[in-house]
Chains A and B, each alone.
Chain A
Protein backbone atom coordinates (compact mmCIF):
# COMPACT_ATOMS: atom_id res chain seq x y z
CA UNK A 1 0.00 0.00 0.00
CA UNK A 2 2.84 2.39 0.83
CA UNK A 3 4.45 1.72 -2.55
CA UNK A 4 2.67 4.66 -4.14
CA UNK A 5 4.35 7.12 -1.77
CA UNK A 6 7.93 8.24 -2.52
CA UNK A 7 10.40 6.82 -0.06
CA UNK A 8 11.35 10.14 1.51
CA UNK A 9 7.77 11.11 2.30
CA UNK A 10 6.30 8.35 4.39
CA UNK A 11 7.96 6.35 7.15
CA UNK A 12 8.15 2.64 6.46
CA UNK A 13 8.85 1.26 9.88
CA UNK A 14 8.21 2.00 13.55
CA UNK A 15 9.56 0.31 16.63
CA UNK A 16 8.27 0.95 20.13
CA UNK A 17 10.08 -0.27 23.22
CA UNK A 18 7.37 -0.85 25.83
CA UNK A 19 9.28 -0.98 29.11
CA UNK A 20 6.46 0.08 31.45
CA UNK A 21 3.46 -1.91 32.57
CA UNK A 22 1.66 1.23 33.76
CA UNK A 23 -1.77 1.68 32.22
CA UNK A 24 -0.99 5.31 31.38
CA UNK A 25 1.99 4.22 29.28
CA UNK A 26 0.80 0.96 27.75
CA UNK A 27 -2.45 2.54 26.53
CA UNK A 28 -0.82 5.13 24.24
CA UNK A 29 1.73 2.50 23.19
CA UNK A 30 -1.08 0.30 21.90
CA UNK A 31 -2.83 3.25 20.22
CA UNK A 32 0.33 4.27 18.34
CA UNK A 33 1.29 0.68 17.56
CA UNK A 34 -2.07 -0.27 16.06
CA UNK A 35 -2.24 3.04 14.16
CA UNK A 36 1.26 2.45 12.78
CA UNK A 37 0.14 -0.87 11.33
CA UNK A 38 -3.00 0.78 9.95
CA UNK A 39 -0.65 3.28 8.33
CA UNK A 40 1.01 0.47 6.47
CA UNK A 41 4.19 0.72 8.50
CA UNK A 42 6.05 -2.37 9.56
CA UNK A 43 5.38 -1.99 13.25
CA UNK A 44 7.15 -3.76 16.09
CA UNK A 45 6.61 -3.45 19.83
CA UNK A 46 9.36 -4.89 22.03
CA UNK A 47 7.88 -5.69 25.44
CA UNK A 48 10.53 -5.68 28.13
CA UNK A 49 10.72 -5.56 31.94
CA UNK A 50 7.42 -4.29 33.38
CA UNK A 51 6.23 -3.74 29.82
CA UNK A 52 6.05 -7.51 29.32
CA UNK A 53 3.16 -7.94 31.75
CA UNK A 54 0.49 -6.61 29.36
CA UNK A 55 1.50 -9.38 26.95
CA UNK A 56 0.63 -12.03 29.53
CA UNK A 57 -2.85 -13.52 29.30
CA UNK A 58 -5.40 -11.90 31.62
CA UNK A 59 -6.17 -15.21 33.34
CA UNK A 60 -2.59 -15.96 34.35
CA UNK A 61 -2.29 -15.32 38.09
CA UNK A 62 0.91 -16.99 39.21
CA UNK A 63 4.13 -16.72 37.25
CA UNK A 64 7.39 -18.53 37.80
CA UNK A 65 8.30 -21.26 40.21
CA UNK A 66 10.01 -19.45 43.06
CA UNK A 67 8.55 -17.48 45.96
CA UNK A 68 9.68 -14.09 44.66
CA UNK A 69 8.27 -14.35 41.13
CA UNK A 70 5.02 -15.69 42.59
CA UNK A 71 4.84 -12.89 45.15
CA UNK A 72 5.58 -10.25 42.50
CA UNK A 73 2.82 -11.62 40.26
CA UNK A 74 0.47 -11.67 43.24
CA UNK A 75 1.19 -8.03 44.11
CA UNK A 76 1.15 -6.91 40.50
CA UNK A 77 -1.20 -9.15 38.48
CA UNK A 78 -0.11 -9.46 34.84
CA UNK A 79 -2.49 -9.15 31.86
CA UNK A 80 -3.39 -6.08 29.80
CA UNK A 81 -6.72 -5.68 31.62
CA UNK A 82 -5.03 -5.56 35.03
CA UNK A 83 -2.59 -2.71 34.52
CA UNK A 84 -2.42 0.04 37.12
CA UNK A 85 -2.05 3.81 36.83
CA UNK A 86 1.38 5.14 37.79
CA UNK A 87 -0.23 8.09 39.60
CA UNK A 88 -3.50 8.24 41.57
CA UNK A 89 -4.19 4.56 41.13
CA UNK A 90 -5.91 4.73 44.57
CA UNK A 91 -6.13 1.00 45.10
CA UNK A 92 -7.72 0.51 41.70
CA UNK A 93 -10.30 3.30 41.89
CA UNK A 94 -8.24 5.55 39.59
CA UNK A 95 -7.82 2.91 36.90
CA UNK A 96 -11.46 1.89 37.26
CA UNK A 97 -12.67 5.48 36.75
CA UNK A 98 -10.36 5.94 33.78
CA UNK A 99 -11.64 2.75 32.13
CA UNK A 100 -15.25 3.67 32.91
CA UNK A 101 -14.75 7.10 31.32
CA UNK A 102 -13.15 5.45 28.31
CA UNK A 103 -15.99 2.95 27.98
CA UNK A 104 -18.63 5.67 28.30
CA UNK A 105 -16.85 7.72 25.63
CA UNK A 106 -16.33 4.71 23.34
CA UNK A 107 -12.56 4.91 23.61
CA UNK A 108 -11.09 1.50 22.85
CA UNK A 109 -9.72 -0.35 25.88
CA UNK A 110 -6.12 -1.55 26.04
CA UNK A 111 -7.39 -5.10 25.52
CA UNK A 112 -9.31 -4.15 22.35
CA UNK A 113 -6.27 -2.25 21.08
CA UNK A 114 -3.98 -5.20 21.75
CA UNK A 115 -6.36 -7.38 19.74
CA UNK A 116 -6.32 -4.80 16.92
CA UNK A 117 -2.51 -4.85 17.03
CA UNK A 118 -2.59 -8.62 16.54
CA UNK A 119 -5.17 -8.40 13.80
CA UNK A 120 -3.36 -5.64 11.90
CA UNK A 121 -0.08 -7.52 12.03
CA UNK A 122 1.95 -5.61 14.61
CA UNK A 123 5.00 -7.64 15.66
CA UNK A 124 4.62 -8.19 19.40
CA UNK A 125 8.04 -9.23 20.62
CA UNK A 126 8.44 -10.47 24.18
CA UNK A 127 11.82 -9.91 25.81
CA UNK A 128 13.46 -13.28 26.36
CA UNK A 129 15.47 -12.11 29.37
CA UNK A 130 12.39 -10.73 31.17
CA UNK A 131 10.54 -13.98 30.54
CA UNK A 132 13.29 -15.93 32.22
CA UNK A 133 13.57 -13.39 35.03
CA UNK A 134 9.86 -13.67 35.81
CA UNK A 135 9.61 -17.38 35.05
CA UNK A 136 7.09 -16.78 32.26
CA UNK A 137 6.31 -19.48 29.72
CA UNK A 138 5.30 -18.97 26.08
CA UNK A 139 1.86 -20.48 26.75
CA UNK A 140 1.22 -17.78 29.37
CA UNK A 141 1.49 -15.05 26.75
CA UNK A 142 -1.38 -13.94 24.51
CA UNK A 143 -1.87 -15.77 21.24
CA UNK A 144 -0.55 -12.98 19.03
CA UNK A 145 2.81 -12.74 20.80
CA UNK A 146 5.85 -13.47 18.66
CA UNK A 147 8.99 -15.43 19.49
CA UNK A 148 10.92 -14.09 22.48
CA UNK A 149 13.92 -12.03 21.40
CA UNK A 150 16.82 -10.19 22.98
CA UNK A 151 18.00 -6.58 23.11
CA UNK A 152 20.09 -6.99 19.98
CA UNK A 153 17.05 -7.99 17.90
CA UNK A 154 15.19 -4.96 19.21
CA UNK A 155 18.12 -2.66 18.38
CA UNK A 156 18.49 -4.23 14.95
CA UNK A 157 14.84 -3.46 14.23
CA UNK A 158 15.21 0.07 15.63
CA UNK A 159 18.21 0.71 13.38
CA UNK A 160 15.90 0.08 10.41
CA UNK A 161 12.99 2.14 11.72
CA UNK A 162 12.29 5.77 10.95
CA UNK A 163 10.22 6.09 14.13
CA UNK A 164 11.56 4.75 17.40
CA UNK A 165 9.76 5.27 20.68
CA UNK A 166 10.59 4.26 24.24
CA UNK A 167 7.42 4.32 26.30
Chain B
Protein backbone atom coordinates (compact mmCIF):
# COMPACT_ATOMS: atom_id res chain seq x y z
CA UNK B 1 0.00 0.00 0.00
CA UNK B 2 1.87 3.04 -1.20
CA UNK B 3 -1.05 5.37 -1.69
CA UNK B 4 -1.02 8.79 -0.08
CA UNK B 5 -3.39 9.63 2.74
CA UNK B 6 -4.30 12.82 4.57
CA UNK B 7 -5.09 11.56 8.06
CA UNK B 8 -4.87 8.41 10.16
CA UNK B 9 -7.34 6.82 12.56
CA UNK B 10 -5.33 4.56 14.86
CA UNK B 11 -7.63 1.92 16.33
CA UNK B 12 -4.91 -0.65 16.95
CA UNK B 13 -5.57 -2.71 20.06
CA UNK B 14 -9.18 -1.57 20.30
CA UNK B 15 -12.24 -3.75 19.88
CA UNK B 16 -15.60 -3.26 18.23
CA UNK B 17 -17.09 -0.67 17.90
CA UNK B 18 -14.08 1.60 18.41
CA UNK B 19 -12.47 1.21 14.93
CA UNK B 20 -15.65 2.50 13.24
CA UNK B 21 -16.13 5.24 15.85
CA UNK B 22 -12.55 6.48 15.56
CA UNK B 23 -12.66 6.28 11.76
CA UNK B 24 -15.90 8.26 11.70
CA UNK B 25 -14.54 10.88 14.05
CA UNK B 26 -11.39 11.32 11.99
CA UNK B 27 -13.22 11.36 8.66
CA UNK B 28 -15.28 14.33 9.84
CA UNK B 29 -12.12 16.41 9.95
CA UNK B 30 -11.35 15.74 6.27
CA UNK B 31 -12.58 17.51 3.17
CA UNK B 32 -14.28 15.67 0.30
CA UNK B 33 -11.68 13.88 -1.82
CA UNK B 34 -9.19 13.50 0.99
CA UNK B 35 -8.09 10.03 2.06
CA UNK B 36 -8.19 8.48 5.52
CA UNK B 37 -6.00 5.60 6.67
CA UNK B 38 -7.63 3.39 9.30
CA UNK B 39 -5.40 0.99 11.20
CA UNK B 40 -6.93 -1.73 13.35
CA UNK B 41 -6.12 -5.08 14.91
CA UNK B 42 -9.73 -6.08 15.60
CA UNK B 43 -10.77 -8.82 13.15
CA UNK B 44 -14.31 -7.44 13.19
CA UNK B 45 -13.04 -4.44 11.28
CA UNK B 46 -12.73 -6.67 8.20
CA UNK B 47 -16.49 -6.54 7.75
CA UNK B 48 -17.29 -3.40 9.73
CA UNK B 49 -15.03 -0.86 8.02
CA UNK B 50 -15.96 -1.79 4.41
CA UNK B 51 -19.70 -1.81 5.17
CA UNK B 52 -19.44 1.44 7.12
CA UNK B 53 -17.57 3.07 4.23
CA UNK B 54 -20.11 1.83 1.69
CA UNK B 55 -23.20 2.78 3.70
CA UNK B 56 -21.92 6.27 4.43
CA UNK B 57 -21.24 6.79 0.74
CA UNK B 58 -17.48 6.91 1.02
CA UNK B 59 -15.09 4.91 -1.12
CA UNK B 60 -12.95 2.09 0.21
CA UNK B 61 -9.85 2.41 -1.99
CA UNK B 62 -7.82 -0.41 -0.55
CA UNK B 63 -7.58 -2.84 2.31
CA UNK B 64 -4.68 -4.98 3.40
CA UNK B 65 -3.34 -6.92 6.35
CA UNK B 66 0.23 -7.21 7.49
CA UNK B 67 1.57 -8.57 10.78
CA UNK B 68 -1.93 -8.65 12.22
CA UNK B 69 -2.62 -5.01 11.41
CA UNK B 70 -5.49 -4.28 9.09
CA UNK B 71 -5.18 -1.14 6.99
CA UNK B 72 -8.00 0.54 5.12
CA UNK B 73 -7.86 3.54 2.83
CA UNK B 74 -11.10 5.47 2.53
CA UNK B 75 -11.74 8.43 0.29
CA UNK B 76 -14.23 10.91 1.68
CA UNK B 77 -17.04 11.66 -0.74
Contacts and interface: CB of A to CB of B under 8 A. Distances in A.
A107 B23 CA distance: 16
A38 B58 contact: no
B47 interface: no
Contacts of A94: none
A2 B14 CA distance: 26
Contacts, number: 60
A106 B42 CA distance: 10
Contacts of B21: 34-35, 38, 116, 120
Contacts of B67: none
Given A5-B55, A10-B55, A119-B25, A106 B20 contact: no
A137 to B, nearest CB: 30
Classify chain B: how many residues form its interface, as a range: 10 to 19
Interface string B48-74: 000010011110000000000000000
Contact of B13 (A35, A39, A106): A106
A5 B56 contact: yes
Interface in A8-22: 9-10
A40 interface: yes
Contacts of B7: none
B20 A38 contact: yes
B25 to A, nearest CB: 7
Nearest to B19: A38
Interface of B: 13-18, 20-21, 23-25, 27, 52, 55-58, 77
Interface of A: 1-5, 9-10, 31, 34-35, 37-40, 105-108, 116, 119-120
What 9 pairs between A and B have smallest CB-CB spacing?
Answer: A4-B57, A38-B24, A35-B17, A107-B15, A5-B57, A40-B56, A10-B55, A1-B56, A4-B77
